[in-house]
Amino acid sequence: MTMDEARIQALYRELLIAIGEDPDREGLRDTPRRAAAFWRDFLTYRPGRIDTTFRHEPAGEQFVQVSEISTWSLCEHHLLPIHLLVNIAYLPAGAVLGLSKLVRVTELAARRLQIQERFVEQVADELQKITGSDDVAVVAAGHHLCMSMRGTRAQGARTLTRTLRGRFLQDPRLVSALGAGP
Ligand SMILES: Nc1nc2c(ncn2[C@@H]2O[C@H](COP(=O)(O)OP(=O)(O)OP(=O)(O)O)[C@@H](O)[C@H]2O)c(=O)[nH]1
Ligand SMILES: [Zn+2]
């Protein structure tokens, strides 16, 4: 994605004028710069290495889950934050992924304009790709500010999205191992 920071700053200045503010008053003078820096920081996450795996042949079946990964995304309809708690599980296929990489993959999918349904799909796609396992599950509990600070003002409403692939689709025991969600 290309980002034109000078243009973003100019647009924020326009926005301040449009809402009846004086963009040159002391408290607002640097606001367009700060707001543009936010967009740059938010949208240009560099995940580093995300595919470190270790060969591992468990004696029996193994289920790996990292729970309650906390991150922030932005709702693409209102440009307001979504706080996400994410559980990721997979059944290793001959190799296990470095645990921190599950967090990096989560962050990568969060740092864009999102809907929560697509977010879990994108995390699952990436996880399948880097683990080589078809058996993955991603569950997210979202708190959408567009539903709590405006609109319905539904304080505490939690949205649960879940994507199940491979054996997670076929085996109810695996789904119950995931728990009720983050
Ligand atoms: N499916 C889905 N909907 C979302 C998500 N984030 C926000 N929305 C919804 O997007 C919808 C946009 O609806 P509109 O009627 O176009 O917008 P609005 O007039 O601001 O609606 P309200 O939010 O109901 O006030 C709302 O129902 C939001 O709750 C998301 O991650 N997934
Ligand atoms: Zn929204």
Mean pLDDT of 47-64: 91
Ligand 1 center to 27 CA (angstroms): 32
- Separation CA 43–CA 112 (nearest Å): 6
At residue 12, what are phi and psi to the nearest 5 degrees?
A: -65, -35
Q: Name residues contacting ligand 1 (CB within 6 A).
A: 75, 77, 115-117, 144, 146-147, 151-152
Which distant-in-sequence residues (6+ apart) come within 8 Å of 108 by Cβ? 45, 47, 50, 126
Ordered by start, the domain boundaries in the chain are 5-43, 53-178
Question: What class is the 53-178 domain?
Answer: alpha beta
| Helix H or strand E encompassing 96 | strand 95-97
Ligand 1 center to 120 CA (angstroms): 18
Q: Are 113 and 79 in contact (CB under 8 A)?
A: yes
Q: Are 124 and 163 in contact (CB under 8 A)?
A: yes
The confidence score (pLDDT) of residue 70 equals: 98
User: Of 23, 37, 101, 92, which Cα lies nearest the Cα of 64?
Assistant: 92
The confidence score (pLDDT) of residue 76 equals: 98
Mean pLDDT of 73-81: 98
At residue 117, what are phi and psi to the nearest 5 degrees?
A: -65, -40
User: Of 176, 175, 91, which Cα lies nearest the Cα of 136?
Assistant: 91
For a ligand 1 pocket test, name from 77, 114, 117 the mutation site with the most ligand atoms within 8 angstroms of its C-beta: 77
Q: What is the CATH number of domain 5-43?
A: 1.10.286.10
The confidence score (pLDDT) of residue 13 equals: 98
- Separation CA 53–CA 61 (nearest Å): 18
The confidence score (pLDDT) of residue 1 equals: 59
Ligand 1 center to 51 CA (angstroms): 34
Q: What percentage of the chain carries pLDDT values higher than 70?
A: 99
For a ligand 1 pocket test, name from 146, 147, 148 the mutation site with the most ligand atoms within 8 angstroms of its C-beta: 146
Ligand 1 center to 3 CA (angstroms): 26
Ligand 2 center to 36 CA (angstroms): 21
Q: Which is the closest atom of ligand 1 to the Cα of 150? A: 25
Identity of the residue numbered 115 = I
Q: Which is the closest atom of ligand 1 to the Cα of 119? A: 31
Residue-averaged pLDDT of the chain? 95
